[in-house]
Amino acid sequence: MERGWEPGEPGWEPGEPGQLGWQRGGPALGGRDLLALAVASGAAAWATWAVVLMPGFRRVPLRLQVPYQPSSPRQVANALTLLRGRAGKTVDLGSGDGRLVVEAYKQGLRPALGYELNPWLLCLANYRAWRAGYHGKVSFLKKDLWKVDLSDCNNVIVFLAPSVKPLLATKLLAELPDGARVVAGRFPFASWTPSSTLGQGLEQVWAYDMKEVRRAVQSSAQGSLV
Ligand SMILES: C[S@@+](CC[C@H](N)C(=O)[O-])C[C@H]1O[C@@H](n2cnc3c(N)ncnc32)[C@H](O)[C@@H]1O
């Protein structure tokens, strides 16, 4: 069989289309190949999403799925400054690798616990607690934050996407006691007025006292009736 030259070999010259030596870079991709490639890339992206990033989220509607993005050390410090001096049950809704819960416990906020659905992150959070010497002192529960009862929580930390904040505001208003404080990171609750805030840009955190939030919501509801 006739053997063509490899590019770079002595005597190799680019040929004409149809001659030996042309298309040395491999056959061009056809429509079917491109379709297969697109399907394979889509399947790989879906598998990464389902197995690594969002396992445990099958029952959570897509519009409420918030991916993991850990707080920066500055965000953690700012959030905990706004909870300084407080007491009572402290929860992080979507606790990720547990950094906020461990720091809250360190600051004396007890009991401190996190709700999280991603099993990898739950493992990481438990490891973090163990490394800090708090194994068995803080808790990370595999629970959907939309389904937990918050009526006995005094301090609630939320580092979640702005898209879920309106629905979360309704849940917090319905369940939290008047004495509770909510600390939100990265994005504020658009319809609530914060009692205090700390930091700039993405490091900014906002504190909301439920009694005042309720009063404002009720008076604006009454105002819209007259
Ligand atoms: C933006 S990350 C914040 C993680 C952590 N609070 C921090 O600030 O480092 C949001 C976390 O919420 C978790 N999450 C999202 N939806 C949830 C749900 N319905 N129930 C429990 N956890 C949820 C995600 O897995 C993710 O770890």
Same domain, 50 and 118: no
The interaxial angle of helices 73-81 and 99-106, nearest 10 deg, is: 40
| pTM greater than 0.85 (yes/no) | no
Residue among 181, 91, 72 at smallest CA distance from 139:
91
Place of tokens 């700012």: 78
**How would residue 12 be classed by pLDDT, with cut points 50, 70 and 90?**
low
Same domain, 45 and 149: no
Share of the chain above pLDDT 90, in %: 68
Q: Give the residue numbers spanning the domain of 206.
A: 73-225
Biggest alpha carbon distance in the chain?
A: 94
pLDDT, position 58: 81
User: Cβ contacts of residue 173 below 8 Å, gap of 6+?
Assistant: 210, 213, 214, 217
DSSP H/E element including 198: strand 196-198
The torsion angles phi and psi of 102, rounded to 5 degrees, stand at -65, -45
Q: How far is the CA of 20 from the centre of ligand 1 (A)?
A: 58
117 three-class SS: coil
pLDDT value at 13 more than 60: no
99 in contact with ligand 1, CB cutoff 6 A: yes
* Mutate which of 72, 92, 117, 138 for ligand 1 pocket (most atoms within 8 A of beta carbon): 117
Burial class (CB in 10 A: 0-12, 13-18, 19+), 91: buried
146 in contact with ligand 1, CB cutoff 6 A: yes
Q: How far is the CA of 193 from the centre of ligand 1 (A)?
A: 24
In a domain, 19, yes or no: no
Q: How far is the CA of 216 from the centre of ligand 1 (A)?
A: 28
70 in contact with ligand 1, CB cutoff 6 A: yes
Q: Evaluate the omega torsion of the peptide bond into residue 111 and state whether it is cis, within 30 degrees of 0.
A: yes
Which has more pLDDT, 3 or 39?
A: 39
pLDDT value at 197 more than 70: yes
Same domain, 36 and 128: no
Tell me: the pLDDT tens digits for 113-165? 999 999 999 999 999 999 999 999 999 999 999 999 999 999 999 999 999 99
pLDDT value at 22 more than 50: no
149 contacts 107 by C-beta, under 8 angstroms: no
Which has more pLDDT, 50 or 17?
A: 50
pLDDT value at 222 more than 90: no
* Mutate which of 64, 69, 101 for ligand 1 pocket (most atoms within 8 A of beta carbon): 69
Place of tokens 């099958």: 58
Residue among 55, 109, 56 at smallest CA distance from 79:
109
Could you tell me what percentage of the chain is helix, strand and coil, using 3-state DSSP and rounding each to the nearest 5? 40, 10, 50
Same domain, 115 and 207: yes
pLDDT value at 2 more than 90: no
Question: 21-25, 32-36, 206-210: lowest mean pLDDT where?
Answer: 21-25
Tell me: the pLDDT tens digits for 32-84? 888 888 888 888 777 766 666 667 788 888 888 889 999 999 999 999 999 99
How far apart are the C-alpha atoms of 160 and 144, rounded to whole Å?
Answer: 13
Same domain, 42 and 107: no
Question: 6-15, 75-84, 210-219: lowest mean pLDDT where?
Answer: 6-15
Q: Give the pair of three-digit tokens for residue 192.
A: 């609530």
Same domain, 193 and 159: yes
User: In this structure, what CATH number is given to the domain that contains residue 158?
Assistant: 3.40.50.150
Same domain, 150 and 219: yes
